[in-house]
Amino acid sequence: MPPFPRTAHTGGGLTYVLPPTDGAGIEKVIRDAIAMDRWLPAPSRVAELADRLRVYIGAAVPAVEGAVQGRPVDDPVRVEVLATAAEARHRLGLGPGDGYASAITFARGLGLVARDLLRLQQGLR
């Protein structure tokens, strides 16, 4: 039985998460998180992926918002960036919920929004 019943938090995983500064390290984490509909990782791996994605999203949202700040209000790129940033903030606030399936759904959702943020970051460069 995990130390935190019905939460998918087993107490394992990383003790320190290095924030990725570019897309090179985060791409594999995003791929692994999105692919969780086809494979079932250990609960500690789910928590590790979610933690890494939270750090990335927390750094990427202000970066992409700042990159479009000078654009006109009706600019399609700005509208897309701000909508994606709002979705990312919403997903960060949800949390994993109770149980393994909920933790996988949460981590996969973080992976999907992180993929969108990474795509936007690359497009804005």
For the chain, the DSSP string reads --SBTTTTB-S-S-S--PPPSSHHHHHHHHHHHHGGGT----HHHHHHHHHHHHHHHHHHHHHHHHHTTTS-TT-HHHHHHHHHHHHHHHHHHH---SSHHHHHHHHHHHHHHHHHHHHHHHHH-
20 pLDDT more than 80: no
6 pLDDT more than 70: no
Mean pLDDT, all residues of the chain: 84
Record the pTM.
0.78
